[in-house]
Amino acid sequence: MHPTPGYHGRYLRIDLSIGIAKSVSLEASFLRKYLGGSGLGVALLMKEGAAMVDPLSPEAAIAFVFSPLVGSPLTTSAKFAVVSKSPLTQRINDSLASSGFALTGKKTGNDAIVLVGRASRPSIVLIENDQVRLEPAEDLMGCSNPETQEKLRSRLGSDFQIATIGPAGERLVRFSTISHDGRHAGRGGSGAVLGSKNIKAIAVRGTQRVQWSDQSALVRLAKELSEKSFGPATAKYRELGTASNLLTFNRLNVLPTRNFQQGSFHGATAISSEELGVVRNRTRASCAACTIGCEHLYSLKSGVPVRLEYESLFALGSLCGIDDSEIVLVASQRCDAAGLDTISSGGTIGFAMECAERGLIDAPWLRFGDGNALLRALDLIVSGKGLGQLLAMGSRAMAMEIGCDSIEFAPQVKGLELPGYDPRGLQMMALGFAVGSRGADHNRSGAYEVDFSEAVDRRNVGPESAHLAVESEDRAALMDSLILCKFLRGVFGDLFQESAEILRLVTGWNLTATELRETALRIVTEKKRFNILAGWTPSEDTLPKRMLQTAIPEDARASLSTDRLASLIKAYNLARGWSEEGWLPESETGAGAL
């Protein structure tokens, strides 16, 4: 029987311990329930029982998941999701990246690649259509991401696409990434999961293409979507990149600064994209198969271009009090090379800077605003030397080790460091952070969009608005499972309706917007179910105490009490159809879930 168009109808499961790969079929009904990307990934991990095992143990599973749209002419669709239990949060983690790895990985004839077990020695997984083999990787150990990719390309040939971990992943840094061509599956430590399996890289090459249900209509629709992607909804991303958020957030006093001790930064202008664009050479790039091209690269003094996004800029800039753009660019480059998530790196180092200034750790050299200290701390994380061992655990584990109530100002939710949005001044986002299945995250909930609108008073959000956080999360779940880049979201009038049409042309399924809303809810619920099995309790849906006890210093109205956050969370849970505390209805939890 032919697979559903858009899919191969199977995934590859590789047991690294015993060196056996097998092809597992995927029923059309299962694919229709979870689509691809994040949704299919969490469903596959549930099948593997991944919630209840140590994510760095051989039993743990990690899934590289493609989607029905990968390989289609639709702009921004060349994406894959890396899904596993996070070693940073011990909860579900789904990180997305865009690159030719998605296009070629799917051409191996699989909708996903699942790795379990642990290779007996450092290895590369080579997948070429139906052929799978492990090759030794001792010679690559310690190499940066770019070095590894370059060496493997010359060894294997340029038609292999290669996802790698850097030294950070090898050393099991809890916030290490998986990288391909400068793009990263960044958050939550998927690099450490791969490192724990002794896998330095996955190389893919293939020739198997999927069918499209209505190819000519799909090409027409893709053309229309590409044309819309040149419009005003994406102008910011195309012309300025995400880094242009910095001055806006600074003006609204929601730019996290010096470990969230302030909401505006004296050095914001010096590190802003506007200033960088004047004093440095700027170039633009894009992910594979993308017409938007939001990547903006700025040259170091040496002339080397470095990709810089808002999240890296705030985390390695204002959050650590750094106003030297050269240092921020060098730090960002080092994170990319070593395979470190920039948000968690900056978040953890900023937290350590505050601990050092308070005398809670013995690191007199580590001070806010000291660029060399930031670079030294990054190097220590990668080498695992001295303070680096503690930093490599992330801010939550570090606070547990330090004690002295430092957990109150560790900038994390469920162990994941906060991105660049101060939740006290963006309270819809505060709710999104608190309930997020992978922790404080701006990609699985785009609730900041509501804060930047007339729909709410961003500094006094009430429970009547909680359904808006639900909608934001559902939209994200759909886009992350289709997969389409979220920077495209502004071009859709009705995302669910238009996605149903896209999927109809790709798969032939006669979907409705209502069914896709149910799909999004199912995916969010499945992530919650995973977390419950992993040990989730309602007490972890919260924010750091600092955010609930003090206002943003520059804006007394930007304060959020424990009680108000609790009322928002309760309203969110009820809007989801869960219990007030966030438990799933008993009938839904599965045997032994509660």
Partner 1 sequence: MTVELFGIPRLRAGVSQSIADGSTLGEILLDLARRFPSLGEDCIDGCTLKAGYIANLSGERFVTDPETELNEGDIVLLMSLDAGG
Only segment of 56-64, 140-148, 453-461, 527-535 that touches partner 1 (CB under 8 A)? 453-461
Q: Are 206 and 193 in contact (CB under 8 A)?
A: no
C-alpha R_g of the chain: 22
142 belongs to the binding site for ligand SF4 (CB under 6 A): no
For the chain, the residue count is 594
Give the nearer residue to ligand SF4 in terms of CB position, either 181 or 295.
295
Q: Are 390 and 398 in contact (CB under 8 A)?
A: yes
Q: Which DSSP string do the residues of 373-429 spell out, in sequence order?
A: HHHHHHHHHHHT-TTHHHHTT-HHHHHHHH-TTGGGG--EETTEEP-S--TTT-HHH
The strand pair at 62-65 and 79-85 is best described as: antiparallel
Only segment of 289-297, 312-320, 438-446, 498-506 that touches ligand SF4 (CB under 6 A)? 289-297
- SS3 assignment for 319-372: HHCCCCHHHHHHHHHHHHHHCECHHHHHHHHHHHHHHHHCCCCCCCCCCCCCHH
Among residues 154, 362, 454, 563, which is the contact residue for partner 1, using CB under 8 A? 454
Give the nearer residue to partner 1 in terms of CB position, either 206 or 267.
267
Among residues 11, 80, 101, 237, which is the contact residue for ligand SF4, using CB under 6 A? 237
Window 193 to 212, contacts with ligand SF4 (CB under 6 A): none
Closest by alpha carbon to 201, among 160, 159, 239, 229? 160
The listed partner (partner 1, ligand SF4, none) that binds 485, CB under 5 to 8 Å by sort, is: ligand SF4
A 10 A CB-CB count for 389 gives 16
Give the nearer residue to partner 1 in terms of CB position, either 167 or 432.
432
Residues in contact with ligand SF4, shown as a per-residue x/- string from 457 to 496 under the rule CB under 6 A: ----------------------------x-x---------
443 belongs to the binding site for ligand SF4 (CB under 6 A): no
Is the omega angle on the peptide bond into residue 483 within 30 degrees of 0, that is, cis? yes
260 belongs to the binding site for partner 1 (CB under 8 A): no
Give the nearer residue to partner 1 in terms of CB position, either 273 or 525.
273
Window 308 to 327, contacts with partner 1 (CB under 8 A): 309-311, 314
Give the nearer residue to partner 1 in terms of CB position, either 313 or 380.
313
Angle at which helix 466-482 crosses helix 427-435, to 10 degrees, equals 60
d(CA 256, CA 87): 25
d(CA 468, CA 455): 9
Amino acid occupying residue 356: A
d(CA 33, CA 18): 32
Residues in contact with partner 1, shown as a per-residue x/- string from 50 to 79 under the rule CB under 8 A: ------------------------------
The strand pair at 10-15 and 112-116 is best described as: parallel
The listed partner (partner 1, ligand SF4, none) that binds 309, CB under 5 to 8 Å by sort, is: partner 1
Among residues 293, 305, 490, 538, which is the contact residue for ligand SF4, using CB under 6 A? 293
The listed partner (ligand SF4, partner 1, none) that binds 362, CB under 5 to 8 Å by sort, is: none
247 belongs to the binding site for partner 1 (CB under 8 A): yes
251 belongs to the binding site for partner 1 (CB under 8 A): yes
Instruction: Name the DSSP letter for residue 568.
Output: H
Only segment of 36-44, 292-300, 437-445, 534-542 that touches ligand SF4 (CB under 6 A)? 292-300
Q: Look at phi and psi of residue 403 and say left if phi exceeds 0, alpha if psi is from -120 to 50, else beta.
A: left
341 belongs to the binding site for partner 1 (CB under 8 A): no
322 belongs to the binding site for ligand SF4 (CB under 6 A): no
101 belongs to the binding site for partner 1 (CB under 8 A): no
A 10 A CB-CB count for 553 gives 13
Among residues 67, 86, 98, 348, which is the contact residue for ligand SF4, using CB under 6 A? 98
d(CA 220, CA 240): 29
Residues in contact with ligand SF4, shown as a per-residue x/- string from 67 to 86 under the rule CB under 6 A: ---------x----------
457 belongs to the binding site for partner 1 (CB under 8 A): yes
A 10 A CB-CB count for 126 gives 19
- Residue 461 beta carbon to partner 1: minimum distance, rounded to whole angstroms: 13
- Residue 233 beta carbon to partner 1: minimum distance, rounded to whole angstroms: 5
292 belongs to the binding site for ligand SF4 (CB under 6 A): yes
Q: Give, for 24, the enclosing helix (H) or strand (E).
A: strand 20-25
The listed partner (partner 1, ligand SF4, none) that binds 290, CB under 5 to 8 Å by sort, is: ligand SF4
446 belongs to the binding site for partner 1 (CB under 8 A): yes
CA angle 264–268–274, rounded 5-degree value = 135
Only segment of 160-168, 250-258, 284-292, 533-541 that touches partner 1 (CB under 8 A)? 250-258
Q: Which DSSP string do the residues of 84-152 spell out, in sequence order?
A: EE-TTTSSEEEEEEESHHHHHHHHTT-SEEEEES--SSSEEEEEETTEEEEEE-GGGTT--HHHHHHHH
Give the nearer residue to ligand SF4 in terms of CB position, either 235 or 279.
235
Binding site for partner 1 (CB under 8 A): 232-233, 235-237, 239-240, 242, 244-245, 247-249, 251-253, 274, 309-311, 314, 419-420, 442, 446, 448-449, 451-454, 457-458, 486-487, 490, 555
Binding site for ligand SF4 (CB under 6 A): 76, 98, 237, 286-287, 290, 292-295, 485, 487
